[in-house]
A and B are shown apart, each in its own frame.
Chain A
Amino acid sequence: MGRTLAEKVWDDHVVRRAEGEPDLLYIDLHLLHEVTSPQAFDGLRLSDRQVRRLDLTIATEDHNTPTIDIDKPIADPVSRIQLETLRKNCADFGVRLHPLGDVEQGVVHVVGPQLGLTQPGTTVVCGDSHTSTHGAFGALAFGIGTSQVEHVLATQTLPLARPKTMAITVEGELPDTVTAKDLILAIIAKIGTGGGQGYILEYRGSAIEKLSMEARMTICNMSIEAGARAGMIAPDEITFDYLRGRDHAPRGAEWDAAVEYWKTLRTDDDAVFDAEVFIDAVELAPFVTWGTNPGQGAPLSANVPDPASYDDASERLAAEKALEYMGLSAGQPLRDIKVDTVFVGSCTNGRIEDLRNVAAIVEGRKVADGVRMLVVPGSVRVALQAVAEGLDKVFTAAGAEWRHAGCSMCLGMNPDQLAPGERSASTSNRNFEGRQGKGGRTHLVSPQVAAATAVLGHLASPADLSEAPATAGV
Chain B
Amino acid sequence: MEAFTTHTGRAVPLRRGNVDTDQIIPAHWLKKVTRDGFEDGLFEAWRKDSSFILNQPERQGATVLVAGPDFGTGSSREHAVWALQNYGFKAVISSRFADIFRGNSLKNGLLTVVLEQKVVDALWELTEADPSAEITVDLEKRQVLATGITADFELDENARWRLLNGLDDISLTLQNEADIAAYEASRPAFKPRTIEA
Contacts and interface: CB of A to CB of B under 8 A. Distances in A.
A273 B98 CA distance: 21
Contact of B100 (A79, A118, A143, A258): A143
B176 interface: yes
Given A159-B169, A257-B188, A146 B183 contact: no
Interface of B: 16-18, 20, 22-23, 26-28, 30-35, 45, 68-70, 73-79, 81, 96, 98-100, 103-104, 107-108, 156-158, 169-170, 172-174, 176, 179-180, 183-184, 187-197
Contacts of B104: 145-148
Given A154-B170, A434-B45, A193 B180 contact: no
B174 to A, nearest CB: 6
Interface in A71-96: 76, 78-79, 81-82, 85, 96
B31 A413 contact: yes
B99 A229 contact: yes
A426 interface: no
A24 to B, nearest CB: 6
A435 B192 contact: no
B163 to A, nearest CB: 13
Contact of A156 (B100, B108, B180): B180
Contacts of B190: 250, 254-255, 257-258, 261
B176 A36 contact: no
A172 to B, nearest CB: 30
Given A15-B183, A117-B192, A413-B31, A318 B76 contact: no
A22 B23 contact: no
Contacts, number: 202
A248 B81 contact: no
Interface stretch (A54-62, A353-361, A374-382, A395-403): A54-62
A128 B158 contact: no
A55 B73 contact: no
A22 B174 CA distance: 15
A147 B31 contact: no
Interface size class of A (residues with CB under 8 A): 35 or more
The list of the 8 closest CB pairs from A to B, nearest first, reads A145-B104, A38-B33, A145-B78, A143-B76, A258-B190, A146-B78, A78-B31, A129-B76
Contacts of B170: 47, 49, 150-151, 154-155
Contacts of A258: 188, 190
A287 interface: no
Contacts of A128: 75-76
Interface string A319-337: 0010000000000000000
B16 to A, nearest CB: 8
A16 interface: yes
A119 B192 contact: yes
Contacts of B172: 159
A39 B74 CA distance: 20
Given A15-B183, A146-B78, A293-B73, A56 B33 contact: no
A36 B194 contact: no
A14 B37 CA distance: 37
Interface in A106-145: 116-119, 122, 127-129, 143-145
Contacts of A254: 189-190
A23 to B, nearest CB: 11
Contacts of A146: 78-79, 104
B73 A79 contact: no
Contacts of A304: none
B51 to A, nearest CB: 14
A35 B26 CA distance: 13
A248 B107 contact: no
Given A55-B193, A81-B31, A314-B68, A147 B78 contact: yes
A39 B33 contact: yes
A430 interface: yes
A198 B99 contact: yes
A55 B194 contact: yes
B45 A154 contact: no
A343 interface: no
A444 to B, nearest CB: 13
B27 A16 contact: no
A131 to B, nearest CB: 8
Contact of A96 (B27, B158, B180, B194): B194
Nearest to B193: A55
B192 A29 contact: yes
B169 A147 contact: yes
- Most chain B Cβ neighbours within 10 Å, of A118, A155, A156, A161: A155
A21 interface: yes
A129 B20 contact: no
Interface in A395-433: 411-413, 430, 432-433
A202 B115 CA distance: 29
Q: Which of B157, B179, B187 has its CB near the most chain A CB atoms (within 10 A)?
A: B179
B33 A58 contact: no
A367 to B, nearest CB: 27
Contact of A412 (B27, B191, B193): B27
Nearest to B35: A39
A28 interface: yes
B30 A24 contact: no
Given A145-B100, A229-B99, A261-B188, A314 B17 contact: yes
